[in-house]
Chains A and B, each alone.
Chain A
C-alpha cells in the first residue's frame, strides 16, 4: 500500500470512530436540511383562504367573487363566504382565513357615483403574506373598476346617454387585469428540500476543511507527523494522505446525504451522473482548500481560525444559507467566485430542468478552475507545514 493511502485509510478510520465527525458530516446536514425544508415549505406552495362578506349582492360584488374564483387564482386562493364583518374578523383572528374582504352594501350602486364605497380587507399581522396577497387582489380589482368608471365617464363626456353608460358599466366584464405569472426557466418547480439538501450537504462538507487542517496540526504537535516523516516516504505523501482522507470522507458524506434526502425527504438532485460529477468537483475544491489552509496556517489555533473564516465566508457568499436569487446583485456576482455557489447553481439547474451533463458543464468547469488555482497555491505553501 502506498504510504499516502495508508495515511488516508488511517485518517478515515479515525474519523469514522469520531462521533463528532459523523454528526458534523452526516447527521447535522440531514437534520438541518429537513428543518429548513420544513421552515420554508410555505414559500414554495402558497395557498390561502380568503373570507368574503358580500353585503352588496350586486354586479360589482359578483365581479369580484368571479375574479377570486377565476382559474388564474384557483391554486392560490380559496374563497369562503362569511356572514358578517364580525364572523370574518373572528375567522382571520383564529387563523381559519388568511385574510378577508368586506364588500359593503350598496357597493355596486356606488360605483357609478362620484364617491364610490371602499372595499375593506381584514388582515392578521401574523400572516403578512396572506395580507399582502389579499390586499393586492383587492387593489387590482379596484383599479379595474376605476378604469371602467373612467371609460364610462369618457363615453358620457363624449355625448353618450347616461343610461347607456350605466348599462355599459353593468355589462362590463369585471375581471382582474393581466397578471404576471412567475415561472423559472426550468420545466420543474424547485422544491425547498432540493435546494437545502445539497446546500446543507455542501455547508457541512466545508467543515472538512477545519476538521482535516486541525487534525494535521494536532498530529504535528504530538509528533505523529515527524514519526511518519522518519519512514521512507516523500514528505508530500504525508500531505497527500491527509487531504485524500478529506476527499474520501467528503464523497462518503455527500453520497449518504444525497441518498437520504432523496429517498426519505423527496429531494431532487437531478441526473445522478451529472450530480455525481458536480459533487466530485465540489469535494475536490474542498480538498484543495484544506491543503491551502494547512499551508497558510502555522499552528493549530491558526488553522482553526483560518478554516472557520473559509467555511463561513464560502457558505455566506455561496448561498448556503439563503437563496442567492433573493440577494442583491453584488452578492449574486460574489457567489460565482465560490465553488459552492457554482455547485448550488448546478444542483438547482439539475433539479429544475431535468437536464444532464450539459447543464452542469459550466459549474463543473468553474469549480475545477477554483480547485486548480487553490491547489497550485497549496502545492507551494503546504510543504512548509512539514518543516520543523
Chain B
C-alpha cells in the first residue's frame, strides 16, 4: 500500500484523464483532465452545480465515469487499492451524533483495516489534529458545528492518505473555524500529501491552493497557478458595483460599452471585467442612470480568480 512517504514527486499522485459522467440527459462532467503531484494542493473552483462534487466522487470511486480514467498512486480509481490511499472528506459532517468523537474515529479507522495499537495511535493523532483530544469521550452531538467540521476532516486522515479529497469543507462554517480549517489544509500540502480541494469561494482557492482548475458546466475551462490564471486577464480590471433596480438591464447596457469584456449579476451586484476600469467608470454610471438603477457602491479591484472566472465563463462565481 502506497503512503505519503513512498510516493515520489516525479509520479503524479492523481491522474485524471478525460473523465465524463452523465445523469440522464444532463452532462455533469465533460472530458475533465488534470493531474496532481505529491504535496500540491489543487483547487477545483466553480459555482454550485459546476461538476466539482461529481468529479471528486469519480476520483474516490463513489461514482463510475462513463468514459475516461482516474488513477490514484497508479491504481485505477474505485479499486480497493486506490481507496486505501485516498482520504475523503464529504461536504456534510458524515459522522454519528450518538457516538463519541473517539468512537466515530475508531469506527472509520476499522473500515480502513486499522486495529490495535495502530488504530489507537491514528485516532489519538486525529484527535490532536482537530484539537479535540480533551473532548474525545463526549458524544458528537455535544460538539459545536466547527468542532464537528474539524473532526470530519481529521477522520479523512486516519489512513494516512497520499491523496486527500476535501469537498467544500468550509460551507456553513463560521469565519474563525474557516480560518482554522484553511490553515490545516495548507499544512497537509507541506506534509507531502496531495490535496484536491473543491470550493466556490475564490478567496479560499487563492489562499490555500497551489494550482486551481476552474470548472463550469462540467468542463475544466482553465487551470494553473493563481499568477498564470490572472495573467490571462492582461490589463483588465474587475469593477464590483452594488446597486438596486433593474440591474440585469443595466448589466446588459454595460456589455454594450467599449472596453467591457464581461458583465455578470450576482447578489445584487454587477461585476464588470473591463480594460482601464477607472476611465470607464463614468460611462458605466451613465448607463446606470439611463436604466434607472441606483448605484450604492463602486469598487475597482485587482485582477483575481473571480475576474478570471468572469472572463472565462461570462458569469460570476456566485451566480
What range describes how many residues of B lie at the interface? Answer: 20 to 34
In the A-B complex, list the 6 residue pairs whose CB atoms are closest, starting with the nearest. Answer: A223-B94, A231-B111, A6-B110, A230-B88, A232-B83, A227-B94
Subset of 22 A-B contacts with CB under 8 Å: A1-B110, A1-B115, A3-B111, A3-B113, A6-B111, A10-B99, A10-B107, A18-B98, A223-B91, A224-B94, A224-B95, A226-B90, A227-B88, A227-B108, A228-B111, A230-B62, A230-B86, A230-B88, A232-B113, A233-B80, A234-B80, A388-B63
Starting from the known contacts A6-B111, A231-B111, A231-B159, 12 additional A-B residue pairs (CB-CB under 8 Å) come to: A3-B111, A6-B110, A10-B96, A222-B92, A226-B62, A227-B88, A227-B155, A230-B61, A232-B113, A233-B83, A233-B111, A388-B57
CB neighbours (8 Å) of B107 from chain A are 6, 10
Residues in A with CB closer than 8 Å to B108 are: 227, 231
A14 to B83 CA separation, bound complex (whole angstroms):
26
- Find out whether the CB atom of A227 lies under 8 angstroms from the CB atom of B98: no
Given A227-B88, A231-B112, CB of A388 within 8 Å of CB of B62? yes
State the majority secondary structure of interface residues on A: helix
Interface residues of A in 1-54 (CB under 8 A from B): 1, 3, 6-7, 10, 13-14, 17-18
Are A223's CB and B111's CB within 8 A? no
CB distance from A43 to the nearest CB of B (A): 43
Q: Are B98 and A3 in contact (CB under 8 A)?
A: no
Cβ-closest chain B residue relative to A227: B94
Interface positions, chain B 48-90, Cβ under 8 Å from A, are 57, 60-63, 80-81, 83-84, 86, 88, 90
- Does B103 count as interface, using CB distance less than 8 angstroms? yes
- The answer to whether A229 has its CB under 8 Å from any CB of chain B is yes
Q: Is the CB of B99 within 8 A of A223?
A: no
- Distance in angstroms from B60 CB to nearest chain A CB is 5
The chain B residue sitting closest to A17, CB to CB, is B98
Could you tell me which residues of chain A, from 218 to 244, have a CB within 8 Å of some CB in chain B?
222-224, 226-234
* Given A3-B110, A3-B111, A14-B99: A232 and B92 interface contact (C-beta under 8 Å): no
Q: Which residues of B contact A18 (CB under 8 A)?
A: 98
Q: A227-B88, A388-B57, A388-B63 are in contact. Are A232 and B96 (CB under 8 A)?
A: no
- Assuming the contacts A14-B99, A227-B94, A227-B108, asked whether A232 and B81 have C-beta atoms less than 8 A apart, the reply is yes
Q: How far is the CA of A223 from the CA of B91 in the complex (A)?
A: 9
Shortest distance in angstroms between B154's beta carbon and chain A's nearest beta carbon? 13
